[in-house]
Structure 1
Amino acid sequence: MRRSTTTGAALALASLLAVTACGSGGGTSSGGSSDAGGGPEPVVFWGSWSGDQVAQLEEQAAAFNASQDDYEVEYVSQGLVEEKLLTALAGGAVPDVVLWDRYQTSLYAPKGALAPIDDMVAADDVDLDAFYAPALGEMEVDGSLYGLPLLVDNRSLLVNQTALDEAGVAAPTTWDELKAAAVALTERDGGTLQRAGLDLSDPGLFNMFLTQAGGSLLDDDETETAFNSPEGLEVLAFWQELMDEGVYELGFGDGTDPFAESTVAMKLDGPWALATLDQVDGLEYSVVQPPSGPAGPGAYMGGFGLVIPEGAKNPEGAWEFMRWWTTQPENGVAFGEISGWIPANVEAANDPFFTEDPRYAAFIETMDYAQVRPSVEGFSDVEGKALVPALEQFMAGELSAEQALQQAQEQGDALLAAAR
């Protein structure tokens, strides 16, 4: 799941907003043009997407512009959209609508950076049950809704089908099968790893393995960490077994895409990877749901949403664009055809375009049980500053499993306490 939380930007928000005169309708949209000529009202659309993705968003905006005569959406790419939004809030020149990681919503809404959309939802009788519930929940803060979920993703298991067929093994469905398949798919030449059976380069996937083991990231009150547990130790014991079997070595394939180059046989990755992999000559791969652990299946959901900043010049146009894109399934499917991203609208995600493609179908099936990360303030720091660094030390052999989780717990609990 792609995350772009900028801790420094979040910390700076309170001081920036202290000098901001917030309020709907106040300020001038950055990047927009005057409507003095009586044409469609401009809607300035910000996001961090760049490169080839700019054309994808521009094509979707053009489709909305052609569907009505009142508004004209213009996409403006911003490299660090959260930081740019902070600056815009301080200067009173905010965009009308922003595409961002849904996880950002719980960080920025309490500071007054976003406009609630409950009245708009009620006025247009929008069916919120049309969205994946966990994704919608990430747009809600303290009982108010601050945006609509747009796109969803999860990590499912990508497998090199050619390698599986040659090894005579089936795609794994459990941890035990995953270990057996990884061992069978690993290739060495004189002790030198030539093909890793399973990519273990991302310790951030601990959360997914933890839920498969029946554990939790935080306690029921979401005030303290809960990953230093028998379930957390079970995850690290499983990882250690895989490393002891030699299915992966730290640093293997660094600087390359080893799955695309067939030097990694299995990898947990998201739907964003498919467009690139489909361009690789000779690569035959498939996607299956992530293997179940001792407690059953488990996965985490990420993705993007659309929000309206407080002080947007044209919130009405922003809302019309959001509603058109997210609540009409055909428009979500159309963007899937353009970009390969899965809509957060359940009906759109279950369109034959996705479900009849076996690779996308696996991601859609995984959505049925995928959950979202805790949205409490400070948890992003728990992951980024406490948990993942400790797990990296564990994978490098610098800390035992017990030491790693204890260290992460102590640091993580302190971070949560400081954020309250």
Structure 2
Amino acid sequence: MHRRFLGLTATVAALGMTVALSGCGSSGSGGEVTLKLVAADYDPEGGDSTKRYWDGVATAFEAKNQGVKIDVTVHDWKDVDREVAEMVAAGKAPDIAQIGAYADYAAKDQLYSVDDLLSIPVQANFLAPLADAGEVNRVPYGLPFVASTRLLFYNETLFTRAGLKAPTTWDEIGSAAAALERRGVKYPFALPLGTEEAQAETMMWMLSAGGGYTDAVGTYQIDSEPNVRAFDWLKDDLVGKGLTGPVAPAKLNRKTAFTAFADGEVGMLNGHPSLLQQAEKKGVEVGMVPLPGPNGKPESSMGVADWMMGFKQNGHREQIGAFLDFAYSDDNVLEFADQYDLLPVTVSASEAMSEDAEHKKLWPFLEALPESTLYPVDKTSWAKVSESIKKQIGSVVGPDGDPAGTLGSIGREAMATENAE
């Protein structure tokens, strides 16, 4: 079902956030334990900053926990979910994974529950709606790692030169893109439907049209009338009119689109908070508004939470729990959020961000959380359905695309996957 953020408050346990971490290395094996951590890369410019962040957390943890080592591997977002799935299938599951979906592993009893891993103060500090989204059959398995909401970004300089205002309807998006195209803007509207994160761009447009991946009771509705309408419009009124740039949407990945925006080559695109930092480094003046619906403000916009989980295979429950308690300290949570201009997932860190004027540019994203809709991450079928969308959705807006037919095929496949779980 649609999962909406209902607010930004939750109760933090009165005993505070100090967690004892000593002695965990001596449990179980009796010798040194090495935890394998596989994480996703958040560096928008393809650097090694994510790896350096996790190496720093690991080094600080190891200094306080003799006998426990952390082996860190970071993969690009377009690869990380598949890499972890292949490791698990080969019987070589990591101890900790930070990826996009957890429910399929939880359904196969491959994960520790959150209750088995975290101390009570750390559990209590998660934003309640995010914590709820990490449950399968009311048992928490997924730990929210970082959150974001999505807004429509536009290049204020290009808009000013073209005499444009921020669009408030689909027609205004189309007319603005046409005006930018006439002025020679390389990507009037960048539409990344490549395999990196096509499921996100897809969901944004579905929600914009009043649809979504699921209906009110949680049943897949991928080929619903609003969803088909959205992709008919994209195919005919943006892509078909040559308003999405020189790279076909099926071949355009988010990272490439973000880099082009930061280089001043994009008029509009859907973006998340990290793009602000990337664009400002290049001197691009950024405007932001909610992605409009066909006739105005949509009912909901997209929110995203990425997930952390602990695998049972190697039997390192206590060590995994100790490391995660450490990783979710305010210092670590805020450091990562600050580095990539993302939204923290804990109450204390969110309050700190909302009260700090240095983060004023992120406040619109925090304000968008209450009405945001998440992926259906509690569905055990979601990981496979997401992969199917990544592979197929780009073709829908091409010259030979068939929105109704392809969305219908994806929808039938989704239902079959859901029923087989």
Tell me if TM exceeds 0.5: yes
Report whether the alignment pairs 1:47 with 2:39: yes
C-alpha distance in 2 between matches for 1:407 and 1:199: 26
Structure 1 pair 360–168 and aligned structure 2 pair: CA distance change class (3 A)? same
Could you tell me how far 1:163 is from its partner in structure 2? 0.8
Could you tell me how far 1:371 is from its partner in structure 2? 1.8
Point out where structure 1 has 5 or more consecutive residues left out of the alignment.
Answer: 1-24, 36-40
1:2-401 → structure 2 map (5 Å cutoff): 34-35=31-32, 44-49=36-41, 51-64=48-61, 68=64, 74-77=70-73, 79=75, 81-83=83-85, 85-86=87-88, 90=91, 96-101=95-100, 103=101, 105-119=102-116, 124-126=120-122, 128=124, 130-131=126-127, 133=129, 135-187=130-182, 194-202=185-193, 204=199, 205-220=201-216, 222=218, 225-239=220-234, 240-243=236-239, 245-249=241-245, 251=247, 257-280=259-282, 282-294=283-295, 296-326=298-328, 328-350=329-351, 351-352=353-354, 356-375=358-377, 376-385=379-388, 387=389, 391-401=393-403
Point out where structure 2 has 5 or more consecutive residues left out of the alignment.
Answer: 1-25, 42-46
- Equivalent pairs, count: 370
- The 8 Å contact of residues 26 and 312 in structure 1, kept in 2 or not, is answered as no
- The 8 Å contact of residues 43 and 72 in structure 1, kept in 2 or not, is answered as yes
C-alpha distance in 1 between matches for 2:108 and 2:88: 11
C-alpha distance in 2 between matches for 1:403 and 1:250: 26
TM-score by length of 2: 0.73
Q: What secondary structure is seen at the aligned counterpart in 1 of 2:153?
A: strand
Could you tell me how far 1:252 is from its partner in structure 2? 5.8
Could you tell me how far 1:106 is from its partner in structure 2? 0.2
TM-score by length of 1: 0.73
Could you tell me how far 1:266 is from its partner in structure 2? 1.0
**Match for residue 22 of structure 1?**
none
Could you tell me how far 1:85 is from its partner in structure 2? 4.3
Q: What secondary structure is seen at the aligned counterpart in 1 of 2:372?
A: coil
| Structure 1 residues 191-243: Cα deviation after superposition (integer angstroms, max 9, x where no partner) | xx6433211232642222222222232345545x3132221233124322234
C-alpha distance in 2 between matches for 1:321 and 1:26: 14
Could you tell me how far 1:54 is from its partner in structure 2? 0.9
Q: What secondary structure is seen at the aligned counterpart in 2 of 1:206?
A: helix
- The 8 Å contact of residues 355 and 364 in structure 1, kept in 2 or not, is answered as no
- The 8 Å contact of residues 250 and 396 in structure 1, kept in 2 or not, is answered as no
Stretch deviating more after TM superposition (75-84 or 135-144): 75-84
C-alpha distance in 1 between matches for 2:86 and 2:240: 46
C-alpha distance in 1 between matches for 2:116 and 2:153: 42
C-alpha distance in 2 between matches for 1:414 and 1:69: 46
Structure 1 pair 274–354 and aligned structure 2 pair: CA distance change class (3 A)? farther
C-alpha distance in 1 between matches for 2:34 and 2:409: 51
C-alpha distance in 2 between matches for 1:335 and 1:78: 15
**Which structure has more RCO (C-alpha within 8 Å, separation ≥ 6)?**
2
**RMSD between aligned alpha carbons?**
3.6
C-alpha distance in 2 between matches for 1:144 and 1:349: 24
Question: What is the letter of the counterpart of residue 200 of structure 1?
Answer: L
Structure 1 pair 64–355 and aligned structure 2 pair: CA distance change class (3 A)? farther
Stretch deviating more after TM superposition (392-401 or 72-81): 72-81
Q: What secondary structure is seen at the aligned counterpart in 2 of 1:365?
A: helix
Identity %: 21
Could you tell me how far 1:108 is from its partner in structure 2? 0.7
**Match for residue 13 of structure 1?**
none
